[in-house]
Amino acid sequence: MREDSRRWIEGDRAHCWHPFTRQAEWCREEPLVLVRGEGVWLWDSEGHRYFDGNSSIWTNIHGHRHPRLDAAIRAQLEDVAHTSYLGFANPRASELAARLTALFPSGTLERVFFSDDGSTAIECAVRMALQYRLNRGEDTRTGFIAFENGYHGDTLGAASLGGVGRFTGLMQRFGLDVRRVSSMAELEATPTEWSNHIAAVIVEPLIQGVNEMRPWPAGMLAALRRWCDARGVHLILDEVMTGFGRTGRMFACQHEDVVPDFLCVAKGLTGGYLPMAATLTSGAVYDAFLGGADKAFYYGHSYTANPLGCAVALASLDVFEEDRVLETLQPKIARMAELLAGLKERSPLVHEIRQRGFIAGIELRQPDGSRFPADARTGEAVCRAAWSHGLLTRPILDTIVLMPPLATTEDELAFAVDALEKAIAQCG
């Protein structure tokens, strides 16, 4: 092992704390130290190359070191890296807000509140939804409806909305008043008076991510929009994972022509370059906050509307338009389906393929269809084995996530699926 690799690993073991990680095990293992990227590829400190199979935790859109995104950041650095958004404006934020709202029909999502990450985008929407009711004198509408097995982030409010116990179980004793349902049918069966205390419903549109990439039935989102409209309940869409082309449209809600009252985006907003988030909402919501100090929205972050983040987000939107990203993505979505269907045919451990657009979950089970013992951690073993075949990705339990950058070519996609097939065989 190179001297630099050893030094970095020892420093990590001595001082760092990783997310969603069993630290005792981590400190006994030899981690990869990722040092460089180009396109859909990453290199570790030992010089080995890997396909970025989960887009660096679902963030990267156009590939690493994209020349136009790099240039946008360098150009902004010539002016200023950061200025406060509290009491001041900046050019890139104004431009980005206009571009984002223009992605939706005129007169719908007209306002943008910038924050730092997916959790804070959700927190922002939740606090807006609550204060909107209070500002309008609707003091009894303080509850939320969320869906079982949903995931909306790790800050306290976002975590209390979640329905995945291993992430949110401890937090559900605190925070928001949340009622959970498992399906649209269950929600529609609830009494009308039940909704009189609800401020908003939150959902991951089209597909639940942390719930092992499980898609919603076709038409579910449109039905949910109708249910909310009939009861005066706001609809919050968590598009932190699904936004910016992942499902084949710019946003998942566009598949069913749904416009929410709040749209939360992060991850792909900057093309995977910088931490930044946005909560889009309607003019009607915004208008409820106009007036005296008692109606102002007292919420924000030191790096709100960071000019570097705004600049690279604008460049990402330029790439979508100039390179016709969504148009060229369609044959790659079809090719992914073909490759994964072949994988299922050849591997007895592949139980089910769940795909929406360029998002796929490959669920592994034993040949008889039964689940692997939880303590076997089969999904983790397969992903670790994939390193030796040049693929980086992560599992959700025993479901392997394949969510490559949209810039992936069909040949690169074939490489990733082949590497995954070899890793599954190695662990089977």
CATH number at residue 358: 3.90.1150.10
Residue 27, domain member (yes or no)? no
Mean pLDDT of 133-145: 95
Residue 14, domain member (yes or no)? no
- Strand ranges for 125-266 from DSSP E: 143-147, 177-181, 198-203, 207-208, 214-215, 234-238, 262-265
Specify whether 343 is located in the same domain as 309.
no
Specify whether 256 is located in the same domain as 403.
no
Highest mean pLDDT among 149-163, 191-205, 303-317: 303-317
355: helix, coil or strand? strand
Tell me: pLDDT of 251 over 90: yes
Spatial separation of the C-alpha atoms in residues 23 and 141, rounded to whole Å = 42
Specify whether 165 is located in the same domain as 225.
yes
Tell me: pLDDT of 174 over 90: no
Give me the residues paired with residue 360 across strands: 355, 402
Residue 152, domain member (yes or no)? yes
306: helix, coil or strand? coil
Specify whether 237 is located in the same domain as 329.
no
Nearest residue to 273 via CA among 309, 319, 323, 325: 309
Lowest mean pLDDT among 85-89, 152-156, 219-223, 401-405: 152-156
Specify whether 259 is located in the same domain as 300.
yes
pLDDT band at 193 (very low <50, low <70, confident <90, very high): confident
Contact yes or no for 249/406 (Cβ under 8 A): no
Mean pLDDT of 241-266: 98
Spatial separation of the C-alpha atoms in residues 120 and 165, rounded to whole Å = 20
Residue 215, pLDDT score? 97
Domain that holds residue 337: 32-65+324-427
Residue 260, domain member (yes or no)? yes
Write the CATH number for 117.
3.40.640.10
Of 322, 343, 361, the residue at which a domain comes to its end is 322
Residue 315, domain member (yes or no)? yes
Residue 302, pLDDT score? 96
Signed CA dihedral, 9, 11, 13, 19: sign only: negative
195-218: burial string, b at 16+ Cβ within 10 Å, e else? beebbbbbbbbbbbbbbbbbbbee
**Residues above pLDDT 90, as percent of the chain:** 90
Return the structure tokens found at 111. 């306002």
Residue 48, domain member (yes or no)? yes
Specify whether 109 is located in the same domain as 256.
yes
Average pLDDT, the chain: 95
Specify whether 339 is located in the same domain as 403.
yes
Q: How many domains does the chain have?
A: 2
Spatial separation of the C-alpha atoms in residues 153 and 319, rounded to whole Å = 28
Return the structure tokens found at 60. 């990267």
Residue-by-residue DSSP string for 17-73: --TT--HHHHTTS----EEEEEBTEEEETTS-EEEETTHHHHT-SS-BT-HHHHHHH
Q: Counting Cβ atoms within 10 Å, is residue 124 exposed (0-12), middle (13-18) or buried (19+)?
A: buried
224: helix, coil or strand? helix
pLDDT band at 173 (very low <50, low <70, confident <90, very high): low
**Residues above pLDDT 70, as percent of the chain:** 97
Residue 93, domain member (yes or no)? yes
Residue 21, domain member (yes or no)? no
Nearest residue to 375 via CA among 32, 31, 25, 16: 25
Tell me how far apart the terminal alpha carbons of the chain are, to the nearest angstrom.
Answer: 29
Tell me: pLDDT of 83 over 70: yes
Specify whether 221 is located in the same domain as 257.
yes
Specify whether 101 is located in the same domain as 244.
yes
Residue 190, pLDDT score? 86
Of 268, 292, 322, the residue at which a domain comes to its end is 322
Spatial separation of the C-alpha atoms in residues 212 and 220, rounded to whole Å = 18
Tell me: pLDDT of 166 over 70: no
Specify whether 59 is located in the same domain as 79.
no
Lowest mean pLDDT among 94-98, 189-193, 364-368, 404-408: 189-193
Of 322, 338, 354, the residue at which a domain comes to its end is 322
Specify whether 335 is located in the same domain as 358.
yes
Return the structure tokens found at 31. 């981690």
Mean pLDDT of 281-304: 95
Specify whether 135 is located in the same domain as 283.
yes
Spatial separation of the C-alpha atoms in residues 62 and 271, rounded to whole Å = 6
